[in-house]
Each structure stands twice: as C-alpha cells, then as structure tokens.
Chains A and B, each alone.
Chain A
Amino acid sequence: MNHIKMNPPPLPGLATKRHCMMGSMLVLSCVFLLSSCLAVSRTPPLTGNHVDSAVLYGGVAITSGQFKRAHQTIGIIQMTQEGFRNYLFGEINHRGTESAEIMGAVGRYALAQGAHGIQHFSLIDRTPKSEEMRKVEQVGQTLKIIGAVVEGKHGNAAGAAAEGEKTEYLVKGELVKWIEEAPVPVSIVPEGGLDVASSKTEETQNLGSEEQ
C-alpha cells in the first residue's frame, strides 16, 4: 500500500514561510537597487554674512561663510545631536533633531559663551536616508513582524516593531564677537604731531579692513 504524504494546504489569508522569505528577498533587492537614491536635507534660512537679516538662532547670527561686519574670533564650537529613527514610526526624538531646533540649541550655547555669531557654520546629517529607503525599511519591517506573528513568535514581532537605527547630526562653526568700529580720531594737535595722528588713523583703518 502506497502512502502518499501530502502537505497540508496553506491557510487562506495567512502568509507562509516561503512567502515571507520571498518578500524579504524582494525587499533586499529593492534596498540594493534603491541604495543609489538621493538623500537631501535642508535647514531653514541662515542669517547671511552681511548680518542685515532679522534671522537669528538663540540670539546669534549664523552664516556658512565669513561675516562682513568687523568681528573678532573667540573660539570654535562643535555639537553632536543624536536621535533614534524607528523603522516603522520614524524619528522618535523628532523635535530634538529638527534642523531649526538644533540651530536654536547651538545658538543659545554660543550666546552663553559670549558669542554674537557663528561663521563657517555646517550642519551635517551623519546618517542620511532617502525617502525611498525609509519606505523600503518600513515594508521590510512589516514583513518581518508578519512572519514572526505567523510563526507564533509574538516576542520577536514586538522586538521587530521596536527596531531602528541611531541618527546623528554634527554642527561645527567658529564663534565670533562683534567689534565696535573705532571712531576716526578728531583732535586738535600741534603742527608737529599731525603726521603721527594721520598715520595712526591709517593704521586703525587698515586694522578694520583686515578684520573684515
């Protein structure tokens, strides 16, 4: 008597292990193909190098270049802001990792150090991800959770739902303090001392232009 061993038919509506594996492979290939996608991040407007704009962050002017206004460099600044991006629900520390919020925080810190401005400013996203990549990660994570639920491993499903990655933003710049323009000396001097006074004025002007 021949015994024909038959596999039980898959339950309708439930993903089988093979489906999950195929889905995972599909997601992986999507990740590979979409890994050339472009990630763009943009901050709100900066102050500008002429400091003629009302835009300040934490009471401090910020430019990516060098301020045209007379200034004195008083130090440098670096700030690292970390967050956590859950694959399914996005950034957890959403407020803390917004570029405007980061710039406000760095501005307040610079002001506390006695600075009026930050020049040569840069805000770098150390973990850039394109929108497409995030979508693929969401789908992949969803499949992982479904797979774990189908297998009855509810703990694994919960773990997969909490998975994500660390995000990191790096801010760098140079701290500056405004210098009040030196007034042109006007004084009544004896004839012999006129040359000295005029050469001093020149020196002051040169100094001012160098600082600018």
Chain B
Amino acid sequence: MNKLSALALALVMLAACSVQNAYVYPESVQKKWMITTGDVDRPYDSLGFIQLTKTGATLFGFWDVLDADLKGLFEQDLLKEIEKAGADGIINMHFHEIQYTKATRIFFAFPLFFIPLPRAVVVTGELVKFKTQ
C-alpha cells in the first residue's frame, strides 16, 4: 500500500514537469537563408507551399530508435529541400513536434515498456526566391 502511494506521489510530482525543444540556426544558415514564421516585405517569387513530415518511434520510453525531432528535420531535411528548390528561404513557417514529458516516458518504460511511443514532426511553409531590386 505504501509502495503504491509512493508510486502515485512520484507520478503526480512528475506530471507537472515540462519538456522543451529548440533549434538555433547556425550562423551560416542565418546568413544564407531567410527562415521565418512570419511574412516578408521584400518582393519575392513563390516556389510553392511545402510540407515535410518525419515519423519515428521511441522504445522503452527513452530509447529513440527512429528519431523525428525539429533539430533533425531542420538539419538533415529542410535545409536540403530549400537548397534543392533553389529558394532563398522559407516564410510563414509552421511546425509541430510530438513531445513527451518525463512522466509519460517513465510510464512507457515501466510498466508499458512493450508499447513504442510514436514520434512525428511536421514543418510547413512557403518556399520563396527574392526578386533582385
């Protein structure tokens, strides 16, 4: 009974925890491309609306066997797509990554260790090429 109470207390305490993810663009990226969640005043040619979706899984609550996070998507995929399209950047960008708090991860490490946690990250935005003035 005491053990159960302790477990419940630990879960309640962990339930309040938060999880943060950030990706700071390296200086070379900042200089080369315009990546913004807002609009721009400079005239541009649109190269299309793009959506990138990456899915993965976490085993035993903490083991990211197939990583799908913002950092990975930006570094490995988004910048590549911008370059491939010949764009100067991406505007009006929206993004979403599935995040799990420590409490959830612990719960899926024990007792639900046999259920993998699904991971997904999505980025959308408009590829643009600025007009030379």
Residues of A whose CB lies within 8 Å of any CB of B are: 32-33, 35-50, 52-53, 55, 63-66, 68, 99, 120-125, 128
Q: Is B89 an interface residue (CB 8 A)?
A: no
Residues of B within 8 Å of A64, CB to CB, are 49, 91-92, 125-126
Q: Is B27 an interface residue (CB 8 A)?
A: no
User: A42 touching B50 by the CB < 8 A rule?
Assistant: yes
User: A45 touching B46 by the CB < 8 A rule?
Assistant: yes
Q: Is the interface of B mostly helix, strand, loop or mixed?
A: strand
Residue of A whose beta carbon sits closest to that of B57: A35
Given A35-B57, A45-B46, A65-B91: A124 and B126 interface contact (C-beta under 8 Å): no
Q: Is B67 an interface residue (CB 8 A)?
A: yes
User: A48 touching B53 by the CB < 8 A rule?
Assistant: no
User: A43 touching B48 by the CB < 8 A rule?
Assistant: yes
User: A65 touching B92 by the CB < 8 A rule?
Assistant: yes
Complex partner residue of B126 from A38, A39, A53, A65, CB under 8 angstroms: A65
Kindly state the interface size class of chain B when it binds its partner: 20 to 34
Complex partner residue of A123 from B40, B49, B128, CB under 8 angstroms: B49
Residue of B whose beta carbon sits closest to that of A45: B46
Give B98 Cβ to nearest chain A Cβ, in Å: 13
Can you report 16 residue pairs joining A to B where beta carbons are below 8 Å apart?
Answer: A35-B66, A38-B52, A39-B51, A40-B52, A41-B50, A42-B48, A42-B49, A42-B50, A44-B48, A45-B48, A48-B43, A50-B43, A53-B46, A65-B38, A65-B92, A66-B39
User: A41 touching B51 by the CB < 8 A rule?
Assistant: yes
User: B46 touching A47 by the CB < 8 A rule?
Assistant: yes
Residues of A within 8 Å of B41, CB to CB, are 68
Residues facing A in B13-56 (CB within 8 A) are: 38-41, 43-56
